[in-house]
Structure 1
């Protein structure tokens, strides 16, 4: 297996993080991981310390981009061949990690754990936004990404470097356009995800609408015009 690092951003996940690591260890007992405590204001840091989990502590909230980028920098510094972006809220299941790594071993640059690769996407408010983002990506790249908002992804060494060193590459759907324009190959594999048990997503109805608009504007009017790496 490739030398792989699981990057787990965590903000106020004191009620979820232990179960997340237990799930990871049950399926991947020997895999390396790093939790990036993103300036949590609850008891997350105490739990990480008490359980002797591997973590990096940020003294302020950097947001998802900053937390995941910190993980990529750690992966680059320690010469990992693959990195897995893995949520700290318990929604992702480690049983699919081998499938994502297999895709990297097959030669893909990014492998997305997709809820809708083989399953039909529901028609609800949030998934309408996902559909619109997929359509926007298709328009500018002619590539279909069924689940562009999935945060369960694997990256190869070249992508680790791009995400670690380039401040314009947040781990969001719009940068998939940049990666595709850079000649990167993306694969989706079918996964199932759990519902969050504790806490709430920041994407309430208003934030979800703002997020969708921001992603579509970036996909259509920013990412296609970024300079491609030579």
Structure 2
């Protein structure tokens, strides 16, 4: 297995992001020459894979849409098999600023998982109503599980060290909010540590996220249910001291 101790794997899950992923990959690759980019084409039906490949990314195409959880588990498996000791998720839509990657990675100096937090007094990202209530509630509950104060536990802009990569390869759920809440709670149950660093989010480069009062209310109810399941169950996981052997 090739060793890449000084390089960082940037995992970009992408589903029908042909209009955004090329620019995102290009920006990541020009930000730091140590960044290797792998795009997980999650069963896209447009030109996502071609656009990512043309921009210089390694592309892993899934045969059908698995969701972010399935795509990220694929990415972490790739990271482990190729000897990466650090990996970070960056969304294909341009909302995560590649200039903040090193800042999020720096959190790995004191924790196994580092979250780029949108609600930490940086930037103008705002969420209101039921969706905001859900995020505050989720953060308060997960903070107790993680034994540290977290403000944004649903952020996908997060980095993992070698131990966290091994944990995610072992258990990274694909169901609703599994890629954020469930994976984080399971990692805490496995003894991994978590920290957060403030980042500013950007608007989507193209396309519109789904936002409505009804959608926000459904998000509130579903997220609370998902969190309850994540806390109650104890999935199979890899102990932190076994991570090195797993790689």
Say which SS state the counterpart of residue 74 (structure 1) adopts.
helix
Q: 1:204 to 1:83 in 2, by over 3 A?
A: farther
Match of 1:220 in 2: 228
Is residue 103 of structure 2 the alignment partner of residue 115 of structure 1? no
Match of 2:179 in 1: 171
Match of 1:189 in 2: 197
Within 5 Å, which residues of 2 pair with 1:38-57? Answer: 38-57=42-61
Q: Please say if residues 133 and 212 of structure 1, whose CA atoms lie closer than 8 Å, have aligned partners that are also in contact.
A: no
Aligned residues: 229
Q: 1:26 to 1:13 in 2, by over 3 A?
A: same
Query: Which digits, 9 at most, give the CA deviation of each residue in 1:158-208, with x for residues without a partner?
Result: 111111122547421233222223222111111111101312335655454
TM-score after normalising by structure 1: 0.87
CA drift of 1:209 comes to 3.7
Q: 1:123 to 1:17 in 2, by over 3 A?
A: closer
Computed over aligned residues only, the root mean square deviation of the Cα atoms, in angstroms, reads 2.5
1-structure distance, mates of 2:103, 2:204: 22
Q: Which runs of 5+ in 2 are unaligned?
A: 240-247
Larger displacement relative to structure 2 (159-168 or 134-143): 134-143
Q: Please say if residues 112 and 188 of structure 1, whose CA atoms lie closer than 8 Å, have aligned partners that are also in contact.
A: yes
CA drift of 1:121 comes to 7.7
Say which SS state the counterpart of residue 218 (structure 1) adopts.
helix
Q: 1:45 to 1:133 in 2, by over 3 A?
A: same
Say which SS state the counterpart of residue 137 (structure 1) adopts.
helix
Match of 2:35 in 1: 31
Larger displacement relative to structure 2 (190-199 or 206-215): 206-215
CA drift of 1:224 comes to 4.3
2-structure distance, mates of 1:209, 1:189: 28
TM-score after normalising by structure 2: 0.82
1:74 to 70, 75, 78: 78
1:158 to 153, 163, 180: 163
Q: Which runs of 5+ in 1 are unaligned?
A: none
Match of 1:89 in 2: 93
1-structure distance, mates of 2:56, 2:184: 35
